[in-house]
């Protein structure tokens, strides 16, 4: 009986998976979209991605040095934020804009609220919305000078963006949307590249299917119903174009699933995904704006605590709280 028993607080079941490994998996999953953007849009797109990541990492390093906080550079969360900000930039954006966005996303949206896990909205999307308000002209200019694929790619992506065409009730080339030879931000145009990265995250068990499927599924059903009511020539084809166009795929798989800003409860994730689909539909199909993924996700980020409160599972054996009797 001389052996000492050490009692430690829960949790007692531990796993080898940590923040660094999760963020490394996300970086790897974003590589196909990054490479597709560089191939399609050229050297300037590569510079945008490099500067976005570098300024995000440097901002986190400087802020933590000034405030004397423990360094969190090793967890790679700043790399993910910077990469997502770069992928949400137009191909020929002036280079100071993504740098400013990374500084804003890391310091204002992330560090001012306590760092990773404490931010109330996705830092990359917070930075993108800040830039959309501050530099609306540059952030919505998707013209390109040329890509590694040559003039054919440049001509394809310099035309009207798919969402603008779809907003007028016209279909777009589904093949171009799937491969990425269309106008848009660096990382959102190639649905194929995004799906390859998403498949990697699913295989590595980094994300769950609930949020992306509920998000994309709800949006798909609502757009299909609208296309049928409005009498579009090919409702199914039009709906598929809407699904693959714009930032829906990138947002659904890589930003709506952010651990810190999405619900952790299973039912909450379903509510969250459905609400995202409804909001994106309203922004795209009802309002004057052709896009709305960023605003939809940020709005639902703010509602995540309330969703978790009302979808929290009840512990086994604990009765439901009784409603207080009304006193006359």
Residue 199's CATH number: 1.10.3430
Residue at 10 is within a domain: no
Look at residue 12 and tell me if it is in a domain: no
CA 243-165-154 angle, to 5 degrees, is 95
Is residue 2 one of the residues assigned to a domain?
Answer: no
Query: Which residue stretches of the chain have pLDDT < 50?
Result: 1, 6-13, 150-152, 154, 156, 158, 328
Is residue 3, in this structure, part of any structural domain at all?
no
The 10s digit of each residue's pLDDT in 192-251 is 999 999 999 999 999 999 999 999 999 999 999 999 998 888 999 999 999 999 999 999
**Bond preceding residue 11 cis, omega within 30 of 0:** yes
What is the rounded distance in angstroms from the CA atom of residue 87 to the CA atom of residue 83?
6
Domain that holds residue 35: 19-311
5 located within any domain: no
Q: What angle do CA 147, 292, 35 make, to 5 degrees?
A: 25
pLDDT of residue 250: 96
pLDDT at 231: 81
Q: How high is the mean pLDDT of the chain? A: 87
**Residue 164 falls inside a structural domain:** yes
Question: What is the predicted pLDDT for the residue at 48?
Answer: 97
* Residue 61 belongs to a domain: yes
Q: What is the pLDDT of residue 211?
A: 96
Domain count, the chain: 1
């Amino acid at each position: 009986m001389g052996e000492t028993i050490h009692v430690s607080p829960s949790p007692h079941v531990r796993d080898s998976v940590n923040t660094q490994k999760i963020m490394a998996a996300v970086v790897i999953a974003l590589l196909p979209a990054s490479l597709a953007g560089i191939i399609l849009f050229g050297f300037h797109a590569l510079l945008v991605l490099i500067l976005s990541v570098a300024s995000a990492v440097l901002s986190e390093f400087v802020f933590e040095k000034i405030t004397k906080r423990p360094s969190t550079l090793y967890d790679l969360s700043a790399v993910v934020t910077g990469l997502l900000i770069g992928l949400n930039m137009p191909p020929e954006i002036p280079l100071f804009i993504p740098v400013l966005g990374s500084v804003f996303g890391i310091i204002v949206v992330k560090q001012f609220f306590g760092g990773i896990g404490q931010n109330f909205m996705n830092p990359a999307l917070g930075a993108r919305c800040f830039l959309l308000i501050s530099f609306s002209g540059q952030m919505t200019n998707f013209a390109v000078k040329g890509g590694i694929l040559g003039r054919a790619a440049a001509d394809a992506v310099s035309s009207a963006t798919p969402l603008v065409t779809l907003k007028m009730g016209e279909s777009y080339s589904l093949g171009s949307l799937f491969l990425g030879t269309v106008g848009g931000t660096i990382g959102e145009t190639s649905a194929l590249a995004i799906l390859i990265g998403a498949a990697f995250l699913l295989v590595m068990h980094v994300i769950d299917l609930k949020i992306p499927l509920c998000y994309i599924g709800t949006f798909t059903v609502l757009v299909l119903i609208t296309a049928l009511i409005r009498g579009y020539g090919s409702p199914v084809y039009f709906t598929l174009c809407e699904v693959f166009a714009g930032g829906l795929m990138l947002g659904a798989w890589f930003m709506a699933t952010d651990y810190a800003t999405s619900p952790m409860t299973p039912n909450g994730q379903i509510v969250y995904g459905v609400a995202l689909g409804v909001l994106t539909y309203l922004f795209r199909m009802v309002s004057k704006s052709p896009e709305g993924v960023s605003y939809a996700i940020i709005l639902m980020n703010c509602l995540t605590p309330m969703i978790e409160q009302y979808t929290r599972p009840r512990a086994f054996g604990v009765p439901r709280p009784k409603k207080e009797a009304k006193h006359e």
